[in-house]
Structure 1
Amino acid sequence: MANFVLQVPKTLRSFSLSATSNGASVGGPQSGGNGGPVIVELPLDQIKRPLMRTRANDPHKVKDLMDSIQEIGLQVPIDVLEVDGVYYGFSGCHRYEAHQRLGLPTIRCKIRRGTKETLRHHLR
């Protein structure tokens, strides 16, 4: 079991930390913060992948990521855009597929809020 030291800014009112299905840890402010990106675990089936049909992933890269995720967990969260409560993933395609193929139910995501106009811009 690993030991670690967690340093929390004095201005942070509340903080949660939990283990994830792939052995990584996530945490984040619960007090509202400054509206910037938040890192959370999301179920894979809640993330829409609108570009999945137009792009193919490198199978060797996916396999390497699967091995790495099994050994040390996901190191870099995928970027997700949240628009009106719906999550859209446009990056992290190889990491997403690696999680799918490993049968992991969730993936760590950096979520940014956007508008429908932002979403249209990403779909071009």
Structure 2
Amino acid sequence: MLRTHTLPIDEVYVPVKRAKTLEAGKVEALANDILENGQTTPIRVRQGKGRYVLIEGYHRLEALRALGEETVTGFVVQARQH
């Protein structure tokens, strides 16, 4: 079973390929939902060199960043580099 971790948002690297998929409307909707309900679904990251690399949850990460949050709840998983 995966354990959740509280991760500093500034230590989560978003690969360039992933960054191109950002939809502002989705971020805004998630930010509103997070304000009402909190973060209900953790993001997924893998350990990188001195940082975490985002695997899943880019819109959640950006919604939290937009809200001024400094941390995000996430799963640290073992994943292959692509």
| Structure-2-length-normalised TM-score | 0.84
**TM-fit CA distance, 1:60:** 1.2
Contact 1:38 1:112 in 2 (8 A): no
Bigger shift: residues 50-59 or 93-102: 50-59
The aligned counterpart of 1:107 is 72
Percent sequence identity is 30
Distance in 2, Cα, partners of 1:54 & 1:70: 23
Moved over 6 A (4+): none
Structure 2: tracts of 5 or more residues without a match: none
The structure whose Rg is larger is 1
The aligned counterpart of 1:58 is 23
Which is richer in helix?
Answer: 2
**TM-fit CA distance, 1:53:** 6.7
Name which structure has the greater RCO, CA cutoff 8 Å, separation 6+.
2
**TM-fit CA distance, 1:47:** 0.9
Number of equivalenced pairs: 82
Query: Alignment partner of 1:113: what SS?
Result: coil
| Structure-1-length-normalised TM-score | 0.58
Is residue 2:47 matched to residue 1:87? no
The aligned counterpart of 2:13 is 48
Query: Alignment partner of 1:90: what SS?
Result: strand
Calculate the aligned-residue CA RMSD, in Å. Answer: 2.0
Structure 1: tracts of 5 or more residues without a match: 1-35
**TM-fit CA distance, 1:58:** 1.4
